[in-house]
Amino acid sequence: MKAFFASVRKEFLHIFRDKRTILIVMIMPVVQIVLFGFAVSTEVNRARVAVCGEISDLQVRRITDRIDKNRYLEITEILSTPEEIEGLFRRNEADAAVCFERNFSSGLTGSGGASVRIIGDGSDPNTARMITSYISGVIQDAGQDASISLSGEKAASMTPSVQLMYNPAMKSSYNFVPGVMGLILMLICSMMTAVSIVKEKETGTLELLLVSPVRPLWVILSKLMPYLLLSAGNFASILLLSHYVMEVPINGSLALLSLVALIFVVTSLAMGILVSVISSSQRTAMLICGMGLTMPTMIFSGIIFPCESMPLVLQWFSDIIPAKWFIIMAKKIMIQGAGFASIIKELTILTGMAVFLLAVSIRSFKTRL
């Protein structure tokens, strides 16, 4: 029994001597439960709503005020024509739009009824359904309150019609496929790269390569090239399956989408090198990639939960997740058919991340083990 307790004590000493293990086992779960506890939410808070109609109309102004006072919604744009809605969606400046017919108050008190149209951004169908249901509820409540007109006559029906732009059939694959594409590319590039380099470090073969006549930079790049080519093959297969099996359209430029994917792959490869630098074993590399990269990517990139619903601090945190910007651009190009001008902000951020991470990861990689 004494030998047993001595063995347990020795194992504890081994664990506490390794600061990286303590960080993974003790600190990371606490950080994750705090982050995910606030981030994991199916609600949509402060959804951005654009209004198209005559704001001078009394009933339009009343309904607009009701929408703006709702805790889940806020009015961000007043439009003069419905044609401006698509531009707002492509620039990611609105989540939904409400269109009132001309002479709305007159139609409300007449026999024909008043026409209200709610348009949601169907590139994210789950979020769009929630937002349009919130708006529809506000409008129907306003219609009940206005059931007696100013002249004392009963008001006509005010049931809004709902339309999801880009995704009228409300297929969830439109949101799921770009997210999975980003997750798969990140997993293959970062996790496999980190594990393969750490494996070489453990066996000592990487040191033999680094002391060879080949420059260390070219050695590192030669280790990354197979995963770059594998990622290209996976990207092509995912696109074919999503388009021909899941019927997800590719309305934009395939060349532009491929460029975005290439920049994202380079970013993920750089993260893999960074993980290999701080990892002493394959197990550590797998834990860091799994708990430190994969889980935050799933939660904070917008694949499952909308980033706009998170607290402001976590929204800032989500901005440093490269997959978030790739998924936004993939949706814009594939679903909305957006061009280069519509993704310039996201592309600039992702390119900056790729350059920064690649420079830091190569510079910090130890050429002497």
Predicted pLDDT of residue 151: 47
Q: Structural domain boundaries of the chain?
A: 47-165, 172-364
Residue 263 confidence (pLDDT) above 90:
yes
Mean confidence (pLDDT) of the chain: 79
Tell me how many degrees the CA angle 45-48-51 measures, rounded to the nearest 5: 135
The first and second tokens of residue 316, run together, are 């800032």
Residue 249 confidence (pLDDT) above 90:
no
Report the range of poorest mean pLDDT among 17-31, 110-124, 142-156, 316-330.
Answer: 142-156
Distance in angstroms (rounded) separating the CA atoms of residues 118 and 136:
8
HSE toward the beta carbon, residue 308, CA cutoff 13 A:
18
Predicted pLDDT of residue 236: 87
Of 347, 169, 326, 177, give the one whose Cα is nearest residue 250.
Answer: 177
Residue 60 confidence (pLDDT) above 90:
no
CA 231 to chain centre: 20
User: Do you know the residue count of the chain?
Assistant: 369
**Any idea which residue has 């499952």 for tokens?**
304
Query: Phi first, then psi: what are they for 257, rounded to 5°?
Result: -65, -40
**Taking residues 120-142, what's their average pLDDT?**
85
Interaxial angle between packed helices 216-244 and 173-186, expressed in degrees from 0 to 180 and rounded to the nearest 10: 160
Distance in angstroms (rounded) separating the CA atoms of residues 157 and 177:
39
Residue 360 confidence (pLDDT) above 80:
yes
DSSP 3-state of 70: coil
- Would you place residue 82 in the very low, low, confident or very high pLDDT band (cuts 50, 70, 90)? confident
Pairing of strands 47-52, 161-165: unpaired
Q: What's the pTM?
A: 0.78
Taken in order 40, 41, 42, 44, the sign of the CA dihedral is negative
Domain spanning 47-165: which CATH class is it, in words? alpha beta
DSSP 3-state of 293: helix
Residue 150 confidence (pLDDT) above 50:
no
Predicted pLDDT of residue 258: 92
Distances (CA, A) of 290 to 192, 231, 285: 11, 19, 8
pLDDT digits (tens, 9 = 90+) for 183-208: 888 888 888 888 777 777 777 766 66
- State the Rg of the chain over Cα: 26
Report the share of the chain in percent with pLDDT over 70: 77
pLDDT digits (tens, 9 = 90+) for 273-301: 888 877 777 777 877 777 777 778 888 88
